[in-house]
Structure 1
Amino acid sequence: MHVPDGFINAPVSVGAAAVAAGAVAVSLRGARRELDERTAPLAGLVAAFIFAVQMLNFPVAAGTSGHLLGGALAAILVGPYTGVLCISVVLLMQGILFADGGLTALGVNITVMGVVTVVVAYALFRGLVKVLPRRRRSVTVASFAAALISVPAAACVFTAIYAIGGTTDVPVSKVLTAMVGVHVLIGIGEAVITMLTVGAVVAVRPDLVYGARGLAAPLKLRVGGELVDAPAARPVPVAARSTRAVWATGLVTALVLAGFVSFYASASPDGLEKVAADKGIDKKVEDHSAKDSPLADYGVKDIANARLSGGLAGVIGVGVTVVAGTGIFWSIRRRQTKDAGPTRVPETI
């Protein structure tokens, strides 16, 4: 759902940029409460993983594909504030290096793909985990539903922005029907990817899943025929809970997805591109200002072999994103530590 330059007029694009900037500023402050010395580098990894999976377009209908937006996944794994920053980092890297998503439309893309998906997904996720049984499986079920709803919600907000500042004269009702229809299907794919990823991390390291914090049911012991609360377990020091294995596994997975599996992704236009072409809202689309970038369109310039070119571009993208993301999140974490001292590790499932 990367909006290119020319879909939305300048005044509305500026307004969306202001909204996005405000959301990022709020998220920079909020992320200080979400990050600790273990999760700061993992947040950079989440951004890189989302970058990689976004390269894997999957077919959803005849001539149409979809890809992960990632807002729900990021919010559940590392927290809503950090999640907004993760998606913002991904969109910035894609726009500058790969000419994917217009630079003048960056505010629109952050608002739609980052803020809306994160807010909708995390609000629904938290609501569901409060009413579902306090089990790990509830986290994966809630993540499926949250991701599913977040995608058509983002499509609705894009349509609202188009209604205010669209550069073509196409009935909004037609755009809304087409956008929601195709993005419900894309949302199913988003939900499956989110559920599987969250489930995999919860299965091995539930303490690293932000959305699973505080959900542990008290352990019961039978004493004299009655169930009583067991004494609280002594917490394992943060330093003893190494994240190296998770970090290495996640990075290797992202590199494989971007560097190899992406070659087999669907070549069909994604949901927004398809709707834009069918309804005519792309008549005034503009060339990307980074169209001559050495990595434009996810290929390395002057490398003729498509498999090698795309794979190398994907690996470079993962590398740049993980370095940029990790640097940003470590900086936020260090600022938090300086201002407030060490944080307490919450109880997990």
Structure 2
Amino acid sequence: MHVPDGFLDLPTSVGTGAVAVVGVGLALRGARRELSEAAAPLAGLVAVFVFAAQMLNFPVGAGTSGHLLGGALAAILVGPYTATLALTVVLLVQALMFADGGITALGTNITLMGLVGVWSGWFVFRGVQAVLPKRRSSVPPAAFVAAALSVPIAALTFTGLYAIGGEAPIPLGKLAVAMLGWHLLIGLGEALITTLAVSSVLTARPDLVYGARRYASADELQIRREEVTA
């Protein structure tokens, strides 16, 4: 979903740039509450994984590309604020060193992937958690739904931006069908990868999974009850 230079007009690019600056600024403050000394290395590993996943691109149309986003995965593992920072670093390196996404479109890409992709995934994740049993076993299915929906939500947001200030010679309807169609499929693939990754970390080090922290005391209490009953 990397947007190239010139795909959106100047006012739209400036607007998304401003949104990105504000979002990253808030993430810098919020990440202080999320990151613990033990979880900091995981944030680095998440950034590396997302970087590698996003480098696998395929064309969608008129210069845009489709690929895994990793926003929901990052948010669930290290928290949404930290995930926004990780995605921002990834997108910055890709734009400056690999010409993946335009420099003038960097704010747009951060807005779409680092903000919309991360936070839509996080809110869906929390919403699904609210209706599932309050146990760690609910984390993987919630992660699946979050990842599956966050990708087409980001694609729909991009389509809305194109409707406002699109400059490429492609009809809006054609672009919308291509973006949503491809990213619905990408969302399913991302959902599977996210579920496997979250499940693996949850099995090995559940204390490091940010999205599972609220279940720590409940699970420990349940284990104690089972020990007493036995």
- Residue in 2 that maps onto 1:30: 30
Alignment correspondent of 2:20: 20
Greater relative contact order, per chain length (Cα 8 Å cut-off, separation 6+): 1
Per-residue deviation, residues 300-331 of structure 1 (Å, max 9, x unmatched): xxxxxxxxxxxxxxxxxxxxxxxxxxxxxxxx
CA shift at 1:55, angstroms? Answer: 2.7
Match of 2:159 in 1: 159
Deviates more, 1:164-173 or 1:83-92: 164-173
1: distance between equivalents of 2:94 and 2:116? Answer: 19
Match of 1:82 in 2: 82
- Measured in 2, the distance between the counterparts of 1:192 and 1:66 equals 17
Contact 1:72 1:117 in 2 (8 A): yes
Q: Which has the higher helix share?
A: 2
Q: Which residue of 1 aligns with 2:203?
A: 203
| Residue pairs, 1:211-230, within 5 angstroms | 211-216=211-216, 217=218, 218-219=221-222, 220-221=224-225
C-alpha displacement of 1:36: 1.2
**Alpha carbons of structure 1 residues 167 and 87: separation in structure 2 relative to 1, 3 Å:** same
For the Cα contact (< 8 Å) 2:7–2:167, is it kept in 1?
A: yes
Pairwise CA distance, 1:66: 4.4
- Contact kept, 8 Å, 1:67 with 1:190, in 2: the verdict is no
SS of residue matched to 1:36:
coil
Q: Distance in 1 between matches of 2:22 and 2:93?
A: 20
Q: Cα distance 1:59–1:133, how it changes in 2: closer, same or farther (>3 A)?
A: farther
8 Å contact kept, 1:20–1:111:
yes
Counterpart-to-counterpart distance in 2, 1:17 and 1:196: 33
Q: TM-score, normalised by structure 2?
A: 0.89
Corresponding residue of 1:240? none
Give TM-score, length-normalised by structure 1.
0.60
Gaps of 5+ in 2: none
How far the C-alpha of 1:170 sits from its partner, in A, is 3.9
Deviations 1:46-78 (A, max 9, x none): 111111222345899xxxx84210100110000
**Bigger radius of gyration:** 1
Q: Secondary structure at the match of 1:213?
A: helix
Counterpart in the other structure of 2:168: 168
How far did 1:211 drift?
A: 0.3
Indicate the SS of the match to 2:103. coil
1:179 — aligned with what?
A: 179
Residue in 1 that maps onto 2:97: 97
Tell me how far apart the structure 1 counterparts of residues 43 and 169 of structure 2 sit (CA, whole Å). Answer: 41
| Matches of 1:75 and 1:18, distance apart in 2 | 22
Aligned-pair CA distance for 1:113:
1.1
For 1:158 and 1:68, how far apart are their aligned partners in 2? 15
The residue identity in structure 2 corresponding to 1:155 is A
How far does residue 172 in structure 1 lie from its aligned partner after superposition?
2.4
Where do 4+ consecutive residues of structure 1 move more than 6 Å? none
Contact residue 28 and residue 85 of structure 1 kept, 8 A: yes
Contact preservation (8 Å) 1:5, 1:105: yes
With over 3 angstroms needed to count, the CA separation of the structure-2 counterparts of 1:119 and 1:222, relative to structure 1, is: closer
Superposed CA RMSD = 2.1
Unaligned runs of 5+ in 1: 228-349
CA distance in 2, matches of 1:170, 1:98: 26
1:150 match: 150
Shift of 1:91: 0.1
Alignment of 1:107-118 (within 5 A): 107-118=107-118
Matches within 5 A, 1:1-349: 1-57=1-57, 66-168=66-168, 170-216=170-216, 217=218, 218-219=221-222, 220-221=224-225
**Do the aligned residues in 2 keep the contact of 1:151 with 1:184 (CA within 8 Å)?**
yes
